[in-house]
Amino acid sequence: MRKKKEEEHENQERWLISYADFITLLFAFFVVMYSTSSVHEGKYRAVSDSVNEAFHPVIALSSSNIRLTSKQSGTAMFDTGLKLFFKYRKMEEEVRTMDPSGQISLIKDRRGTVIRIENSLAFETGQAEILPVFSEKLDKIADLIAALPNPVQVEGHTDNIPIKTPAFPSNWELSTGRAMSIVRYFVDRHAMDPQRFSVAGYGEFRPIDTNDSPEGRAKNRRVEIVVVSVDRIP
């Protein structure tokens, strides 16, 4: 009789094992649900950096470009990154097909993504006013840049032939004036945020070709619109 009572006592506590199993499964379920609905910023940064490395120096998915908040789901953050990535790709494709003559080109270097425009397409010799025939192409470039979050630096360059006029005492002033005209166009005609832009005039001191031939000097006379890479931002 005593043995039977002891067996009944042991059976009464077996429910704890089932309860513990249930709690463990419930905990695992919520962990899985949480992991599929949110992304840790560190993990997102690692993924985005890997994508950037694969498409270097495409900079669309940098976590510095996307404000991460606790209210934003992992799926939403990744969608934002993909949208930016495809905007960069669209810019690259449209710029490369914009001018069949090759006077507009796109390169990538340590600064970021660079839209290079030969001065003869945009300006009269020795002048800084944008030619009306170039406005349509500049409108397209403005629309592409407006869709991106990056800072933009516009840089002017000349050949080594000296200039000395009341408006432009040297090639420094001419190159800076041309870069400033581009920025003014973006800000005044397209209402773009002026805080995004900076201007640089390098005169003849950063050539990309020889100044000993007409063809080389034509390549050196240029304006470069630099979509600045986020890792270059101070």
Task: Write phi, then psi, for 195 (nearest 5 degrees).
Answer: -70, -15
What is the rounded distance in angstroms from the CA atom of residue 121 to the CA atom of residue 222? 9
pLDDT at 105 over 80: yes
Q: Which CATH class is domain 99-232?
A: alpha beta
What ranges do the domains of the chain cover?
2-37, 99-232
The structure tokens listed for 95 are 């710029």
Spatial distance between the Cα atoms of 124 and 22, rounded to a whole number of angstroms: 79
User: Dihedrals φ, ψ of 91, to 5°?
Assistant: -60, -45
**How far is it, in rounded angstroms, from Cα 104 to Cα 55?**
22
- State the average pLDDT over residues 31-36: 57
Q: Which of 222, 216, 47, 43 is nearest to 120 (CA)?
A: 222
pTM equals 0.69
Examine the pLDDT at 123 and tell me if it is beyond 70: yes
From the list 165, 167, 201, 208, the residue with the least C-alpha distance to 182 is 201
Q: What is the DSSP string of 72-118?
A: S-HHHHHHHHHHHHHHHHHHHHHHHHH-TTSSEEEEEETTEEEEEEE
- What's the pLDDT tens digit per position in 61-82? 333 444 444 445 555 555 566 6
Q: Crossing angle of helices 41-54/74-98, nearest 10°?
A: 20
